[in-house]
Amino acid sequence: MNSPARPTLKPRKTPVQARSTETVAAIYEATIQVLLSHGAERLTTTRVAERAGVSIGTLYQYYPNKQSLLFALLEQKLERVTSTLEIACKQARGKPLAQMLDHVVTQYVDAKMMRTDISTALYQISTEMGGPALVAKMQSRSLKALKDMIDTAPDVAAKPEPFIIQMIYTSMASAMRMVLEAGAAPIMVRKLRMHLVLLCQGYMSAVCGIRAIQET
């Protein structure tokens, strides 16, 4: 017996004109609202179209099913966080290691904390929505950004091997997920920023060594 075909997760087309972009933005926001109010199981393309104020035919021009809608939402969220991390890493190049990590960790936490309700909802369904493949793709970009940044630190005695960069990124991602799943109370987020910076700084100092910067 043939297994049922897996629903496609890719959109049918990408908006080009301003009006199309606005329509897709409205569909995204409606998807978020329906996801949060009804949950993933009761989310339907009909409900999303009604909330977005578009016809079901218009929605289907872009997204063939609810799986592709949720995939697009997850991809958008991960892209925003990854892009923020990449920008933060570029901004911190050439600074002492401690300053680098302070800046990058803070920016990463702040990006992940935008719309925590969405992050929590998406975590719960990410495995079904192609999340692992998306996460792997974004992780690869993040690891490269972190390595390229740390390689420019003037006070690092030895350039870190890939495993060390992986440990830094995994620590950031795992700690963030723990806080989100615990409800992300403001006091917990404040503690996370401080302790995650210290954790990353201490670990990198221990495994790579810090040398004094020669003043010119």
pLDDT in tens, 180-198: 888 888 899 899 999 999 9
Closest residue by Cα to residue 36 from 51, 21, 15: 51
Q: In 29-166, which ranges are E strands?
A: none
In a domain, 4, yes or no: no
Which amino acid is residue 189, in one-letter code? V
Q: Exposure of 74 by Cβ count < 10 A (0-12 exposed, 13-18 middle, 19+ buried)?
A: buried
**Same-domain pairing of 36 and 115:** no
CB 93 within 8 A of CB 104: no
**Same-domain pairing of 96 and 43:** no
In this prediction, residue 18 carries a pLDDT of: 55
| Percentage helix, strand, coil for the chain under 3-state DSSP, each rounded to 5 | 70, 0, 30
In this prediction, residue 183 carries a pLDDT of: 81
**Same-domain pairing of 57 and 134:** no
**Same-domain pairing of 34 and 94:** no
Instruction: Look up residue 116 and give its two tokens.
Output: 């925590």
In a domain, 216, yes or no: no
Calculate the CA dihedral of residues 180, 182, 183, 184 and round it to 10 degrees. -50
Domain ranges, residue 39: 18-64
Residue ranges of the chain whose pLDDT lies below 50? 1-6, 16, 216
Q: What is the pLDDT of residues 27-46, one digit of tens each?
A: 999 998 998 898 888 999 99
**Same-domain pairing of 47 and 138:** no
Q: What is the CATH number of the domain that holds 46?
A: 1.10.10.60
CA 94 vs. chain centroid, Å, equals 25
The span from the CA of 123 to the CA of 179, in Å, is 12
The span from the CA of 188 to the CA of 195, in Å, is 10
**Same-domain pairing of 38 and 111:** no
Domains contained in the chain, number:
2
Q: What is the DSSP letter of 12?
A: S
In this prediction, residue 11 carries a pLDDT of: 56
pTM above threshold 0.85:
no
In this prediction, residue 20 carries a pLDDT of: 80
> For the chain, first and last CA: distance in Å?
74
In a domain, 28, yes or no: yes
